[in-house]
Amino acid sequence: MAERRMLIAGNWKMNGLASQIAEAEAVADTWRAPKSEVLICPPATLVGALASALGGSAVAVGGQDCHAEPSGAHTGDISAQMLKDSGARFCLTGHSERRTDHGESDADVQAKSHAAQAAGLIAVICIGETLDEREGEKTLDVIRAQLAGSVPDTATAANTVIAYEPVWAIGTGLVPTIAQISEAHDFMRAELVARFGAQANDMRLLYGGSVKPANAAEIFAVENVDGALVGGASLKAADFNGIIAAAEG
Ligand SMILES: O=C(CO)COP(=O)(O)O
């Protein structure tokens, strides 16, 4: 079986002023040499400061979004190269809040993911169905289409992570059953292996949506779950540490 290093990623979303850096430092102080990889994606305003504060620690820093172009006349946007230059190693792409708030299509997400890879970042490509799609039994169709449309041909196990985040589970306290998570992750693995071959067995598949210290261990026990993308519970070191502890076993 493939050996995939667990990745526990925090997405701070549009939260965090400079004072929030102390929470990330408290995470880094707790985990000096974890088995898992630990990542925090702060708002763009904190990427540089966080990368400096966490330099030499086991906690990596990532962006939450990037533009598809490396530079140019795009006021207010940030390129993958800029994130890399600020000390980021990862970049989220296609988060459902970007798809909803900014109308990002699968094609947009694919272009951004490619830009992240080209800049030397690991793209964490987010997909997931809405409640309507889940109730309409369209979940696997949505996953198939989003993987096909959002993941660039350049994806490898080294430059790409997939995050499955059912939209209805984000920030709601609702979590799919273990059977539902397992079905989605097994399906993603099969789709990726069909497209990319055996190397896709090494690609990490994260679950995201209301992950907490109390439910993390049973989610991490699912065979094709290789970590978590955590929103609310990543803002407090005590909560995020509890989730990392569940992965460390
Ligand atoms: O959207 C998420 C992470 O990207 C999940 O958010 P919550 O953990 O707050 O549900």
Residues classed as catalytic: 95, 165
Provide the residue ranges of all domains of the chain, joining segments of one domain with +: 7-248
- pLDDT (tens digit, 9 = 90+) per residue, 77-125? 999 999 999 999 999 999 999 999 999 999 999 999 999 999 999 999 9
Pocket test for ligand 1, best of 101, 127, 229 (most atoms within 8 A of CB): 229
pLDDT recorded at residue 210: 98
- Say if ligand 1 is within 6 A of residue 209 CB: yes
Cα of 72 to ligand 1 centre, how many Å? 31
CB of 176 closer than 6 angstroms to any ligand 1 atom: no
Average pLDDT over residues 124-137: 98
**Ligand 1, atom nearest to 211 Cα:** 8
Confidence (pLDDT) at 161: 98
Residue bearing the CA closest to ligand 1, atom 7: 231
Q: Please report, in range form, the residues annotated as the binding site for substrate.
A: 11-13, 171, 210, 231-232
Residue 4 has pLDDT above 90, yes or no: yes
The answer, yes or no, to whether any atom of ligand 1 lies below 6 A from the CB of 171, is yes
Ligand 1 centre from 22 Cα, in Å? 21
Rounded Cα gap, residues 8 and 62, in angstroms:
12
210 C-alpha vs ligand 1 centroid, how far in Å?
A: 6
pLDDT at 19: 98
Which residue owns the Cα nearest ligand 1 atom 3?
231
Distance 71 CA to ligand 1 centre (A): 29
**Could you identify the residue written with the tokens 């430092």?**
25
Q: Could you read off the pLDDT of 198-210 as tens digits, one per residue?
A: 999 999 999 999 9
> Residue 2 pLDDT > 70, yes or no?
no
DSSP state at residue 144: H
Q: How confident is the model at residue 3 (pLDDT cuts 50, 70, 90)?
A: confident
Strands, E assignment, the chain? 7-11, 37-41, 59-63, 90-93, 122-127, 160-164, 204-208, 227-230
Residues 135 and 165: beta-carbon distance below 8 Å: no
The rounded mean pLDDT for the chain is 98
Q: What is the mean pLDDT of residues 62-82?
A: 98
ipTM over 0.85: yes
Is a pLDDT exceeding 80 seen at residue 18? yes
d(CA 138, CA 124): 23
- Fold that domain 7-248 belongs to in CATH: TIM Barrel (3.20.20)
% of the chain at pLDDT higher than 70: 99
> Which pLDDT score, from 0 to 100, does residue 75 have?
98
Q: Is 210 in the pocket of ligand 1 (CB under 6 A)?
A: yes
| Percent of the chain with pLDDT strictly greater than 90 | 98
- Mean pLDDT for the stretch of residues 142-159: 98
Judged against a pLDDT cut of 60, whether residue 130 lies above it is answered with yes
Q: Is the pLDDT of residue 1 over 70?
A: no
